Structures are given as structure tokens and as C-alpha cells.
Amino acid sequence: MIYQGRAFNTDGNKDVIGAHVSQQNSYLMGICVIGDYTSDVPSDAARISLHEMLAWKASDRNIDPLGRSLKSGFGMQDNIAGHRDYMSTDCPGNSFHPQLPSVRIAVDALLKGEVIADKYYIPQGEHDKGFTSLADAVTWLNSNNLAGPTEFRITADLDESGTDIVFDRNDLSNFRSLTIRPDDGVSPVVRVRQLHFFATKFITIDGGSSRTLTLLLDDEEVQQAIYIEGSSRDITIRNTNITYENRSATASAIQLRRVDSGPGFGAPAAIRILNNRIGDSDRRFYDGVLTLGSSDRRVQLEVRNNEVFVTRRGFTDWFTTGSTYSVNRVHSGAEAGIWISESVDGIYSGNVLHADRGVHLFGSARPRIDNNVITGDIMGIDVSGAGPDRVIRR
């Protein structure tokens, strides 16, 4: 909702002078986003209204939302700036002010008629907006701006096994984000060769509370159904069924891997794997979730409330930092429910681990392993190569 501040002049002049910047208001328009954004950010609805208001004024006055211009007494300033950029004030808040670059991008996208916050259906069917395939949708995503929260809704079963689907968007944000989910009332199966997130941010795959989305790996060459690589962050996989029709002998359901140089340099962080069913008693992956960090590029993730069926390891936690594995149920085989190697400050709590070794701990610093239920034929917790300052209890 947009409220009018000072009324337009009776002669129809829209350039009403406000009182937001002392002695500078004749060339500035002030917009108040109602709320306290010291630690919170505006709602999606507020952001959309802000973008639309700014796009209207930018169009009316031929203002470049990505540009800068000389302001009397203030030097060069962004054309879309915060109150604190002109006055001694916290406004628009410590949480909202860093989001202004994404506001500028969103306003520019609106002016260019590019992607705005909306729903796109796959397959499109009779809907106004959509795509024939998920691969087409992601190709489109990789070359178009998002101006707000966007959804890809899966309306029917998809066969995407003919190609890698590569998400390559490192400029998305908490507001300019993408969610892939099943449409209301359907339970689609998406057959994939691989879903590959390369240095990508703020994308969620969500099957809903009833897990109505199934991702079906159907390839004997790739090593994982979902591949999260390089400096990816804020990727969430939740409420899905991940299984396979065909897989390589050593395929993981989900792999997270560092990139040591060049594009995508870094390691995945703020990755969330929540409430998924990975494999089943008849179709077990080799590993459930496999992390491949390094001593100077560590992976960070949260793995919670998943049920995992594997032949080797439920979770391979290799070179992570501050990661959490909690309330998972692992049905494992040859090696371990959780294999922890060279990680630091990890929490492994409340898991039920059916495996030859419940937990294998090697060379890791300050792990906390507590409140787990472990059943196995060899040992509960193997600490033969454990690092310093470990906490193991209950």
C-alpha cells in the first residue's frame, strides 16, 4: 500500500517540496518506508510498492536508477540513495540500507520491462506466463533481472534428463530470490541429469510440507543429483523426495564442492538441506550429502530432519566450519552414518544413525556430538583419529 504524504498542489504540480533534507528538498523526492529496519528488512509487499513508486518517478523525470549525479553540497550521489547519505540519521536502517543496490537494480528492471516478481508455470499450459521445461526457465533466469520474489511452479511431471541444468546467478538477494515448487494440488516428478548451482545465491527448492516434489536422478555418468559449487550461498533444498532411476556406482544425492581458482572461487555457505527424503530402502545412494571443502575454503551448511538411505555414508562432512547436522535419520551401510573429517566447530545432535559406525571422527577441532541414537555392528563412535577439544555426550 502506498500512502500520499504532502498533497499534490491544486494546480496539478506533482513536485511537492518535502522536508527530509534541509535546504535540498527542491530537487529530491523523499519516500518513507514505514517501519524500523535496524535489524529487520521491509516486507516483500513494501519492497514491491517502493520499486513501483521509484520506477514511476524515474520514468516521469528520465532518471537513471543505476546512475549518479552531482548534488549541491553533497558531491556525487546515487540517484536512489538513503536518508543517511544526506543527513545524520540511521534511516533507512542498518539492515535496509545495504539493500539499496538491489532496489536500484529492481527499479531498472521495471523500467526495461524485464522480469518482475511473479509466478511462472512449467509446463505453461493455459497460464499466462511460463515455460516448456525447467531447462528453458533456468536459461531465461540466467539472463534476466528479477525485481522481486519469483516462483517457478511445476505443474506436471518433467523429463529434464537430457542436459545439465545450471543455475548461474550470483547477484540474487534475499528479496530478489527464486523459489521452485510444485503447483497447488499436484505431485510432480522431475527427472534430472543434474541440478547444478554454480556460484549462485538465494534459490530455494521447496516441495511443501507434504513433500509433493520428487527429484529423480536418471544418469549413470554424473556423480550427484544436486551439485552446489563454488561461492554459492543461501541455497535451500527442503521438503523433497530425492531418488534415482539410474545412477553411477558412487553417486551422492547432494554434493557441495569448493572452487580453488577462477570463476566461482570459494566454497558454498549458508546452505540448508531440510526435511528431505533421500533414497529409500530399495534405492540407496552411495552417499547422502557429501561436502568437499579444504582447509582454507570450508563449506558451511545446515542439515536437519532428513531421512537418508545410503550404501556407504549418510553424511560426509569434510572440511566444513560451523555446520549443523541435527534430527536426521540415517540408514547406512559399509562405513558411517556421519563421517567427520578435518571440520571445525560442527554440531552433530539428535540424530538416529543405523550404520556399521554411527559416527567416524577424524582430525576435527571442537566438534560437539550429543544426544544421538546409534545402532551398528562395529562401533558407535570411532574417535581413533579425532582432533582436539571434542565434546561427546549422551
Return mean pLDDT, the chain: 90
Q: What percent of the chain has pLDDT over 70?
A: 94
Confidence of residue 145 (pLDDT cuts 50, 70, 90): confident
Q: Is the pLDDT of residue 334 over 80?
A: no
Average pLDDT over residues 87-91: 89
Return the closest-CA partner of residue 297 out of 345, 255, 252, 343.
343
Average pLDDT over residues 203-215: 97
Q: Where are the alpha helices (H) located in the chain, listed in sequence order?
A: 44-61, 100-111, 134-141
How far, in Å, CA of 246 to CA of 332, rounded? 20
Q: What is the pLDDT of residue 115?
A: 59
Q: What is the pLDDT of residue 7?
A: 66
Q: Is the pLDDT of residue 188 over 80?
A: yes
Q: What is the pLDDT of residue 85?
A: 85
Return the closest-CA partner of residue 233 out of 254, 208, 256.
256
Instruction: Give the residue extent of every domain in the chain.
Output: 25-111, 119-393
Query: Looking at 80-84, 109-113, 203-207, which range is the least confident one?
Result: 109-113
pLDDT digits (tens, 9 = 90+) for 118-127: 899 999 999 9
- Tally the C-alpha atoms within 13 A of residue 224's C-alpha that lie toward its C-beta: 20
The SS3 assignment for 30 reads coil
Residue 316 near residue 339, CB atoms below 8 Å: yes
Fold of the domain spanning 119-393 = Pectate Lyase C-like (2.160.20)
How far, in Å, CA of 288 to CA of 310, rounded? 6
152-182: b (≥16 Cβ within 10 Å) or e: bbbbeebebbeeebbbbbbebbebbbbbbbb
Q: What is the pLDDT of residue 74?
A: 79
pLDDT digits (tens, 9 = 90+) for 218-266: 999 999 999 999 999 999 999 999 999 999 999 999 999 999 999 999 9
pLDDT digits (tens, 9 = 90+) for 19-63: 777 777 777 888 899 999 999 888 878 888 898 899 988 998 899
Q: What is the pLDDT of residue 385?
A: 67
The DSSP secondary-structure symbol of 98 reads G
Q: What is the pLDDT of residue 9?
A: 61
How far, in Å, CA of 231 to CA of 292, rounded? 13
Q: What is the pLDDT of residue 162?
A: 87
Q: What is the pLDDT of residue 120?
A: 95
| Terminal C-alpha separation, the chain | 53
Average pLDDT over residues 271-281: 97
